[in-house]
Structure 1
Amino acid sequence: MRRTFLSFLAASAFVCASASSLAANEPLKIGFVYSNPIGDVGWTYQHELGRRLVEKTFGDKVKTVFVENVPETADADRVIRQLVGGGNAMVFTTSFGFMEPTLKVAKQFPKVSFDHATGYKTAKNMGIYQSRFYEGAYLLGVIAGKMTKTNTLGFIGSIPIPEVLRNINAYTLGARSVNPKATVKVIWVNSWYDPGKERQAAEALVAQGSDILYQGTDSPAAIQVAQERGLFAFGQDSDMSKYGPKAQLSANTVNWGVYYVAKVREQLEGKWKPEDTKWGMKEGMIELAPLNPAIPADVVKLVEEKKAAIVSGQFQPFTGPIKTNEGKLVVAAGKTLSEEELWTLKWFVDGVASKLPQ
């Protein structure tokens, strides 16, 4: 059932009823809230693939609905509330800006199970889930560091929150691990999805000497610009190679389905509980898209070795010594950035040639 936010509001009447009133023989109703249009690539598209996997896995035991293009404002409160009123016993809200609305509604409906993506607040009936995207970003950085000719890499920033800063920093660390001369320039568009601004940022980065582009945004604009200019780029969230088959070196993709299937199974078995889940390559949540044949064999081998070390736990990208781009030592040699520090990170590593927005 594909509905935009506005059509959903027009068609839905609030019903002040608990999802727990469902008959035992009825399917488990599950609601998904998306911040962007689904499209065919990107963050929301990957969540949609996860929803479809839930339906495929559990068949008539579940019934899912979704609302796309929901503003990350108080309007999200109404959408979440209406999903509960529609009998959904589980609700997944899939973007950082939905944190406060989800928390508010969760407290009002204690018998409904809520899961919120990328936030940091929980409740007795609200868990959070995040990906270790930075693991894939580090590997893409290794590729970029080996393949750049200008030693200038461009990054299109969405919103300067820890999850985006982790990716920029990990990408930079990966690049400089194989090429100490590599630097990363960042241009912020202050949006998760704005193809026009993303294209402008990509073109500006190219004008500043960037020969490889990466992003924290949703559209394939950077891939398209790279394809047009004969340069390279990386996809984010999804494999975006169809928009630039020669340009895309790989993509840092996320498989939300592994998490959704696990949590829905827990709900069906009466075992669901709110958790702080952070999954990465080891759990199959983070995956690199197929590598472009243009990548030299020795680089492919290096990436495979680094990936194996990450999966086995032998290597963590944020292992010291690490300095900020202002010269402050934040991780000593032989030490690894703590979990709490990773998820509250508010600085750039040495090699990022841009200042953090104030």
Structure 2
Amino acid sequence: MRMRFLKRLAVLAALVIPMHAFADDPLKVGFIYVGPIGDHGWSYQHDQGRKALEEHFGDKVQTTYVENVNEGADAERTLRRLAQAGNDVIFATSFGFMNAVARVAKDYPDKVFLHATGYKRAKNLGTYLSVTYEGRYVSGTAAGLVTQSNKIGFIASFPIPEVIRDINATFLAARKVNPDVELKVVWVSTWFDPAKEADAANTLMDQGVDVIIQHTDSPAAMLAAEKRGKWAVGQASDMSHFGPHAHLLSVVDDWAPYYIQTVQDVMDGTWKSEDYWGGIKEGDIKIVGLSDRLTDEQTSKVNDTIEAIRTGKLHPFTGPIYDQAGKLRIKEGEVATHEQLSSMDWYVHGMTATYPQ
């Protein structure tokens, strides 16, 4: 009788012990990157977050990563390999991984999946992003203040909502400080291709652009601007050393706080699927390396913009905002919802660039 009772207790204990209750078992965390960790941009910064995770938790975690993964069948195969290898938490760090991670998460309900910049969620699949449009609004403010030609250039990757809202935020901010600004856009259909990015930067500068902003990951545009004596804004990481004279500022994605908190929540058994947005206030977006070539007045305006966003006094998408055709999209005094921002597929009024098809 006593033996049967002890066996039943053992069975019950096995049912309630968390997956990672044993201190000797590290939490295995996998990362999948769309580009190389040496891109000095998006994938590089995610890998810096992975390294910060290791430094914070020490031997309590074991991380692995796969770089240069195409946003198609390769993504699904890679995600499955990470799950089969015993990774307990898997971060998929590019929009194009969305359908793949949704399928794999469904097949591995005991794993936690996080997808950057996407919108598909499940009980074991959450989404997260850095509010890059806040950084673009600061970039647009600075660009509008320093441009002499009144022509700003934007190197765009793919026509997804994240990129569209960043273009719009850049233009809204630039027009606020300089009503004569025109924003020219070149689409390169890649996240990382230094040759294409350099060609795009030179094409824009040939058209009279004197400030380059990018939603691609290499420092090629910064290098091109440095060579031709123009301004450029760093993407994802601090790119000031690639163009000491050209560098206007860099918008840095700091993923470390989110990765550390998410893994801690999984360890504590408190993690729940959510759609996380982190910006300047949360420390996930940082503005670094503002050029000392700006006047005191220009520097003050840029810093005031950063502080207004940080404190919530300024939201880049506060109405009234009209689209390119003159249709009211965000009513006066209202702030765009996450749903509106997540599905943005229109240019704001005043943009002369043709919306991509």
Sort the TM-score into its range (normalised by shorter chain).
Answer: over 0.9
Provide the secondary structure at the position in 2 that maps to 1:356: coil
Matches of residues 161-310 of structure 1 in structure 2 within 5 Å? 161-310=160-309
Q: Deviations over 1:225-261 (max 9, x none)?
A: 1100001010111111111110010011110111100
Provide closer, same or farther for how the CA distance between residues 262 and 22 of structure 1 changes in structure 2, counting only shifts above 3 A. closer
TM-score (norm. length: structure 2): 0.92
Q: Deviations over 1:197-243 (max 9, x none)?
A: 11111111111110100011001111111100001010111111111
In structure 1, the partner of 2:137 is 138
How many residues matched? 340
Gaps of 5+ in 2: 1-17
CA distance in 2, matches of 1:240, 1:169: 23
Provide the secondary structure at the position in 1 that maps to 2:286: strand
Deviates more, 1:328-337 or 1:108-117: 328-337
Equivalent residue letter for 2:33: Y
Provide the secondary structure at the position in 2 that maps to 1:333: coil
Shift in Å, 1:20: 5.2
Equivalent residue letter for 1:280: G
Q: Is the 8 A contact 1:323 1:349 kept in 2?
A: yes
Shift in Å, 1:48: 0.2
CA distance in 2, matches of 1:184, 1:291: 21
Equivalent residue letter for 1:129: Y
In structure 2, the partner of 1:333 is 332
CA distance in 1, matches of 2:239, 2:69: 24
Q: Is the 8 A contact 1:22 1:87 kept in 2?
A: no
Shift in Å, 1:22: 9.4
Shift in Å, 1:332: 2.9
Gaps of 5+ in 1: 1-18
Q: Deviations over 1:146-180 (max 9, x none)?
A: 11011110000100100001111101111001101
Provide the secondary structure at the position in 1 that maps to 2:314: coil
Provide the secondary structure at the position in 1 that maps to 2:25: coil
TM-score (norm. length: structure 1): 0.92
Equivalent residue letter for 2:313: Q
Matched residues, percent identical?
A: 48
Shift in Å, 1:325: 2.4
Provide the secondary structure at the position in 1 that maps to 2:100: helix
Provide closer, same or farther for how the CA distance between residues 133 and 259 of structure 1 changes in structure 2, counting only shifts above 3 A. same
In structure 1, the partner of 2:57 is 58
Matches of residues 76-87 of structure 1 in structure 2 within 5 Å? 76-87=75-86
Matches of residues 74-113 of structure 1 in structure 2 within 5 Å? 74-113=73-112
- State the superposition RMSD in angstroms: 1.5
CA distance in 2, matches of 1:295, 1:351: 27
Q: Is the 8 A contact 1:223 1:247 kept in 2?
A: yes
CA distance in 1, matches of 2:85, 2:109: 16
Provide closer, same or farther for how the CA distance between residues 246 and 42 of structure 1 changes in structure 2, counting only shifts above 3 A. same
Q: Does 1:43 align with 2:42?
A: yes
In structure 1, the partner of 2:9 is none
Provide the secondary structure at the position in 2 that maps to 1:219: coil
Provide the secondary structure at the position in 1 that maps to 2:29: strand
Q: Is the 8 A contact 1:20 1:111 kept in 2?
A: no
Q: Is the 8 A contact 2:323 2:329 kept in 1?
A: yes
